[in-house]
């Protein structure tokens, strides 16, 4: 794999990660707005955040517990609960995929042939005569 191809793969991975994060944030913001309209008591219990950034910054982590413990299933209407549940599963799948693709990109970057004189190529090459165990082979 060439260095240019590896750099392009890394940049594409970074761009895809940013797009996924922005999409997930927008969806979470819409769910919070819908929660404030359709289920105001549950919204007040999680700290009445207007954005997902405000929900994440909550020191008591009320929104995180609300979603992780699936309290929305009993407190919200069926449609909103189904959307939150689908968002939760999709987020888990998205971030798992991002981690797997990131590991593959890192592996590919590690396999890149570096030009001679690079830090990974700093040990001297010994000829067959200079190797200490050459006569045993």
pLDDT in tens, 91-135: 888 888 888 988 887 887 777 665 555 555 445 555 555 555 555
Look up the domain containing 128 and give its range: 3-136
For all residues of the chain together, what is the average pLDDT?
Answer: 79
DSSP-assigned letter for residue 123: S
Q: 0.85 exceeded by the pTM?
A: no
- 10-13 long-range contacts, Cβ below 8 Å, gap at least 24? 10/105, 10/109, 13/101, 13/102, 13/105
Instruction: Please give the tally of structural domains in the chain.
Output: 1
Q: What is the pLDDT of residue 16?
A: 86
Q: What is the mean pLDDT of residues 56-68?
A: 85
Q: Each residue of 43-58: pLDDT tens digit?
A: 888 888 878 888 888 8
């Amino acid at each position: 794999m060439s260095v240019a191809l590896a750099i392009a793969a890394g940049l594409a991975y970074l761009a895809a990660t940013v797009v996924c994060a922005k999409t997930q944030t927008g969806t979470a913001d819409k769910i919070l707005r819908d929660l404030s309209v359709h289920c105001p008591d549950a919204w007040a219990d999680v700290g009445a955040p207007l954005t997902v950034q405000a929900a994440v910054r909550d020191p008591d982590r009320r929104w995180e517990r609300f979603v992780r413990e699936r309290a929305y299933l009993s407190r919200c209407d069926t449609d909103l609960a189904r959307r939150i549940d689908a968002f939760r599963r999709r987020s888990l799948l998205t971030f798992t995929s991002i981690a797997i693709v990131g590991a593959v990109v890192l592996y590919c970057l590690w396999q890149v042939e570096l030009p001679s004189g690079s830090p990974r190529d700093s040990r001297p090459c010994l000829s067959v005569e200079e190797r200490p165990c050459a006569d045993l082979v």
